[in-house]
Structure 1
Amino acid sequence: MTHLPEFRSTDNPKERPRVQANAPQPLDELLASAHVVSIPMRVRFRGIMHREVLLLDGPAGWGEFGPFLEYGDTEATAWLAAAVEAGWQGFPAARRDSIPVNATVPAVAAAQVPDILARFGSVGTVKIKVAEKGQGLADDLARVAAVRAALPDAHIRVDANGGWNVEQAVTALGHLQAHGLQYAEQPVADIAGLAEVRRRLLRAGTPVPIAADESVRKENDPLRVARAGAADLIVIKVAPLGGVRRALEIVAQAGLPAVVSSALDTSVGIRAGLALAAALPDLPYACGLGTVSLMDGDVSADSLVADGGAITVRSVTADPGLLERFAASADRRHWWLERLRRVHAQMIAGCSDA
């Protein structure tokens, strides 16, 4: 990482120079541009009913800093780098202007599936959460069966978020494949386990490709999963990888097909995911960028939601009225601003050590 260049503050933040994505702007500039929001969820997702994020209003556009609450400051530095890229550098040139997206079905009861799907409109691909704590294989089978009944011709993919062990994953995928699976995302937590699940499925003649998500974005070396032969494709998220340009580098070096996904973002964060999907040389799979539909609100009056199974690539501006409506409480705003200070300090320290 390069050393931080010096920038002089100006009265008009829109006149400040753009910088490379991995170099944080001065802290006072970030704090002055920060808005903290809490968006209610329509349904519990990832164990939460409100999604909190910090938005930055930069000269190149809006950026989103929203590492989940349990993430440590070191891990969160990549999320801040991605937000700075979006707000102060902008995105690479696009190769396409429309991005196909999947619907996402949380770990809800099978009876709730039709209501969840209705929020996404016409879609050709659905990702279904499985391996939820407190649930069993019967719950997963019922949920997947409900999606298949509602959408007989759709591509179906399942996401376990590393919730199974190897034996559970092989057994579960053997049963779930009866409904036709495009792939299984992160069936087990570790790379060695992914490789073992993949080998066993191949030996058993169970045609379920393996996608790696956490084993890419939460590893110190995001390319290790490719070298280990542990996945058939990788799931790429902009924020945890440090920005669109860094994500493009990882996809190129991995040499595996990529699915672009979100980290439960507002439309500001989804815009960065669309930028990545639009810039990739190849886009063989529908992207997991439709998650704004799971929220009961947004920061943009022109939300980035799917229309006919795709989202048009376009700019996003946070609406002042919505920022006010969904503004986090004073104590939560303080918590996020303190987090921003700590993570920014970590980024500065990292640049100084380089």
Structure 2
Amino acid sequence: MTPPLAEIAATARVVALPMNTRFRGVDVREALLFEGPQGWAEFSPFVEYEDAEATTWLHAAIDFAWNVQPAAVRDRVPVNATVPAVEAARVAEVLARFGGCRTAKVKVAERGQTLSDDIARVRAVREAMGADGRIRIDANGGWNLDEAETAIHALAEFDLEYAEQPCTAVEELAELRYRVKHKGIPIAADESIRKAADPLAVAQAKAADLIVVKAQPLGGIRRALSIVADAGLPAVVSSALDTAIGLSQGAALAASLPELDYDCGLGTASLFADDVADARPMGGAVSAARVIPDAAALTRLEAPTERREWWLARLERCHALLPD
């Protein structure tokens, strides 16, 4: 059953985390945290999301705070470094924050940038990581079909592990997968899973070789596990630019997957200048243990009053949309 709003709000803390580098258009990441019988959880849909979409994130947070989660089959989760759309000269500085990661996900197709910028950034990552490093790119649907084909051909020389969400539409992904198959570069679907009315459409259309799943946007660990099982494709667990609390839920999801063939995108704590707990990767992995926020950090990172009120109002609206 859905806990009463007052019970959730009683422990609610709204925090604002500064970032080392602007990422996804965000310089400061806001989140609402609360504690339930099973521990702390995070409600942090991006501010531009409508209430209907944000309610799925609240469902995930309540489930994580109130219910016993699926059993883990591993206690540590290997993770990738995440390289924002920075200039090539800053790549080494970014990678240095991700302790021991053998894989890097590189953001490409950034608005206002060119393919030449992407090539320079990916080249810098390859030079920094050496021949044994694994490199994947993430376009967040920023290319059309022809642009994606051109970009993947141009970036193929850097031995890509896969290309994540190069196009927006499932039909485009399916066609692109056919066009670049000879390059041996798999296609991964992210937004086509977490923002789709039917998250299994990608698998049914044979439009991806693997899927990216995120605990909060998909409504919780159980639903994400169900999607992975029904899709029948390898899965990468990633974050939604979560605080250490949200990353804990992502790590719990990754820890409960029967198979984990790829490093997960759960090392994003290294993108923050400060956090409510230390969830940065060590030795290329993060712990799957539940995270408890540091009391001093909750105070230090407390959001301004007007932002706290904004988040509490959002919590109330989304709570009203939840089933009983």
Say whether the fold is shared (TM-score over 0.5): yes
Matched, 1:41 2:41: no
| 1:313 to partner: Cα distance | 1.7
Matched, 1:230 2:207: yes
Partner of 2:302: 327
Instruction: For 1:87-102, list aligned pairs within 5 A.
Output: 87-102=65-80
Supply the AA of the counterpart residue of 1:151.
Answer: M
User: Which of 293, 297, 311 in structure 2 is aligned with 1:336?
Assistant: 311
2:266 aligns to what SS in structure 1?
coil
Matched, 1:315 2:290: yes
Count of residues paired in the alignment: 323
| 1:322 to partner: Cα distance | 0.7
Partner of 2:37: 59
Stretches of structure 2 that go unaligned for 5 or more consecutive residues are none
CA-to-aligned-CA distance 1:74-99 (integer Å, 9 cap, x gap): 00111001110111113211001111
User: Which of 192, 203, 216 in structure 2 is aligned with 1:239?
Assistant: 216
Partner of 1:82: 60
Partner of 1:16: none
Matched, 1:281 2:254: no
Matched, 1:158 2:133: no
Partner of 2:81: 103
2:8 aligns to what SS in structure 1?
helix
Structure with greater Cα Rg: 1
Partner of 2:193: 216
Partner of 1:260: 237
Q: Percent identity?
A: 57
| 1:320 to partner: Cα distance | 1.5
Alpha-carbon distance in 2 for matches of 1:121, 1:305:
8
Alpha-carbon distance in 2 for matches of 1:299, 1:90:
23
User: Which of 173, 186, 192 in structure 1 is aligned with 2:171?
Assistant: 192
Alpha-carbon distance in 2 for matches of 1:187, 1:315:
33
Which is worse superposed, 305-314 or 131-140?
A: 305-314
Alpha-carbon distance in 1 for matches of 2:108, 2:72:
34
The root-mean-square deviation of aligned C-alpha atoms, in Å, is: 0.8
Supply the AA of the counterpart residue of 2:180.
Answer: L
Supply the AA of the counterpart residue of 1:253.
Answer: D
CA-to-aligned-CA distance 1:281-335 (integer Å, 9 cap, x gap): 10000000000000011112xx122111111221211112111110010000000
User: What is the TM-score of this pair, normalised by structure 2?
Assistant: 0.98
Instruction: For 1:138-153, list aligned pairs within 5 A.
Output: 138-152=116-130, 153=132
Instruction: For 1:13-52, list aligned pairs within 5 A.
Output: 23-52=1-30
CA-to-aligned-CA distance 1:223-271 (integer Å, 9 cap, x gap): 1110011100000000000000110001000000000000001110011
User: Which of 233, 242, 249 in structure 1 is aligned with 2:226?
Assistant: 249
Is 1:61–1:90's contact at 8 Å kept on the other side of the alignment?
no
CA-to-aligned-CA distance 1:190-234 (integer Å, 9 cap, x gap): 1111111111112xx221100000000000111111001110000
Supply the AA of the counterpart residue of 1:175.
Answer: A
| 1:108 to partner: Cα distance | 0.2
Is 2:252–2:289's contact at 8 Å kept on the other side of the alignment?
no
Is 1:185–1:213's contact at 8 Å kept on the other side of the alignment?
yes
User: What is the TM-score of this pair, normalised by structure 1?
Assistant: 0.90
Alpha-carbon distance in 1 for matches of 2:8, 2:225:
25
Q: Which runs of 4+ in 1 moved over 3 A?
A: none
Supply the AA of the counterpart residue of 1:171.
Answer: T
Stretches of structure 1 that go unaligned for 5 or more consecutive residues are 1-22
Alpha-carbon distance in 2 for matches of 1:200, 1:171:
10
1:164 aligns to what SS in structure 2?
coil
1:240 aligns to what SS in structure 2?
coil
